[in-house]
Chain A
């Protein structure tokens, strides 16, 4: 008996119990569908995290002043005001440092003609856009000359530009920040929300000196961001910067650091790892439903073998060999599982699209996940179909014939 004939027999047998076959298949459809949809949601999340990490610059480090409010801790060189631009310049001298961006931050109610908007004011240096790998949509970013002169210029984030200027170009217009009139010389491209949900485009960027002297009246800085040449260098730089800053701030042995450091590479690895775990988790939960679908197949095939024992006896009397019977039942299980696999792919794609559409979650269905889910369904068919099929093929002819 060749494969085509065996397949025809299997299809005919399934067709005789249409409802049962469809319900059995449904288990696999849901299983495969949920595996595909869940993996899609998982890798979508992974993709989004990867994108955000890339937009933050994954080789970057952040240095911040230590807290002054910690009870009992004697702060050394000035607590929250311990970091200076000289520290940033010293860090820039270290090997493997690509760019350094010191910054200060404040918030202000910004006015432009009749409208106003409350937003963050970031005092930064020209290297800021390099460190954040951020491009300009129009105009230009400020230069060293603006820093030296503490010029009254600023660059807008997309959200601010939209809120104050609508569709008009803000270039060369003047806005008022805490009573200081600043000329807009550029607008940044849209960066979107951070992984934690805050809008990165809702900010105004001005020369760090302008913000320090003319808006805040301070000399310290609140943050140093820097980019290392690669991830490994960023891990090594943590130690080197720590040594450097302790020395510069004249901290003695045993005194706590008056600054804190965050390594984005570390964060990146953690996030990527947790996204991977998340994907695996979703995938394995969905696999359980596929497994349940497989058990459904086995259940129905066992019922079917018992029900059709007499038929098996007749077939054996007519000359069916063990392997003919084995193949017939195995193929029935395989047809159920692969049909479930194919329909499940559509269900999974549909489910993924629906999730992508009705929630903000990005969904990426990869061909690999579709293939894996489908092969898994086939495997489930073989695994759970083999036992009933063997049971059928090993029946003794006279006992099967006598069975009513």
Chain B
């Protein structure tokens, strides 16, 4: 039995908003094994975004432990966290978050730049990742020349080009129509089943969460097992 990819124990996070302290996350325990597809659901204000920021190493917990692929993130400084995000995590966001006025190819190359990979290898890897997402014809298109589905596939290519151990998808279908939503979920399904990619999906849509093999519910900052 392999060690869990993601190991969270007794995690707390509070933040202050307009002078009021909000307990965003209380006593979270969560293990994710390699190859799992986990959905975290919850109404707005339940702490989903805060959890997603901590899982994505964009923020650190107040108390509790978080180990990602055997690395304790609570002991890391900003630069180490940046390197960890680059190495271990691929992000897919609701609003795609592609760099504006930057071609699909350059968008996918960006994480490789911060990984310190040379230009020729970067280009070749980015091209391969885009072709894998069936976007071989769209390499030099700018984000505003792409459809919602295409843009999200560029974002997925960018997330996967570094071969991260975890794909973190935050409402990946929130900005696309139903047909495109189905297409994107089918793609994530395939990546999980065929390539063994570990995915943590954050959503408030039952239907989208249905694709995951384990579903958790976040309510008032506490994690409840649902299925």
Contact = CB atoms under 8 A, between A and B. Distances in A.
Contact of B86 (A12, A16, A310, A318): A318
Given A314-B99, A319-B85, A319-B111, 11 more contacts: A311-B99, A315-B99, A315-B110, A317-B91, A318-B91, A319-B87, A319-B114, A320-B114, A322-B79, A322-B82, A324-B114
B97 A317 contact: yes
Contacts of A115: none
Interface residues of B, number: 28
B100 A317 contact: no
Contacts of A323: 79
A401 B79 CA distance: 17
Interface in B98-156: 98-102, 106, 110-111, 113-116, 119
A320 B79 CA distance: 8
B214 interface: no
22 contacts: A2-B116, A9-B113, A12-B102, A311-B100, A313-B97, A314-B99, A315-B110, A316-B82, A317-B85, A318-B85, A318-B86, A318-B91, A318-B111, A319-B85, A319-B86, A320-B114, A321-B79, A321-B82, A397-B58, A397-B59, A401-B58, A401-B97
B116 A318 contact: no
Given A314-B97, A317-B97, A322 B78 contact: yes
B204 interface: no
Interface of B: 53, 56, 58-59, 78-79, 82-83, 85-87, 91, 97-102, 106, 110-111, 113-116, 119, 158, 162
Contacts of B91: 317-318
Nearest to A400: B58
Nearest to B59: A398
Contacts of A1: 113-114, 116
B78 A321 contact: yes
A5 interface: yes
Interface in A1-29: 1-2, 5, 9, 12, 16
A401 to B, nearest CB: 7
A5 B119 CA distance: 8
Interface string A385-404: 00000000000011001000
Interface in A165-217: none
Interface string A296-319: 000000000000001101111111
B113 A5 contact: yes
A383 to B, nearest CB: 25
Given A398-B53, A398-B58, A321 B83 contact: yes
B56 A317 contact: yes
A317 B85 CA distance: 7
Nearest to A310: B97
A319 B53 contact: no
Nearest to A324: B114
Nearest to B90: A318
A322 B119 CA distance: 22
A16 B144 CA distance: 14
Given A317-B85, A319-B82, A398-B59, A16 B101 contact: yes
A9 B56 CA distance: 25
B82 A320 contact: yes
Contacts of B56: 317
Contacts of A310: 97
Contacts of B119: 5
Interface in A319-344: 319-324
A317 B58 contact: yes
A316 B78 CA distance: 10
A146 B182 CA distance: 118
A324 B110 CA distance: 12
A397 B53 CA distance: 9
From B87, B99, B102, B116, residue with most partner A Cβ within 10 Å: B99
Contacts of B113: 1, 5, 9
Nearest to B116: A1
A318 B114 contact: yes
Nearest to A16: B101
A1 B82 CA distance: 13
A318 B155 CA distance: 11
A376 B79 CA distance: 33
A398 B51 CA distance: 12
A232 B15 CA distance: 79
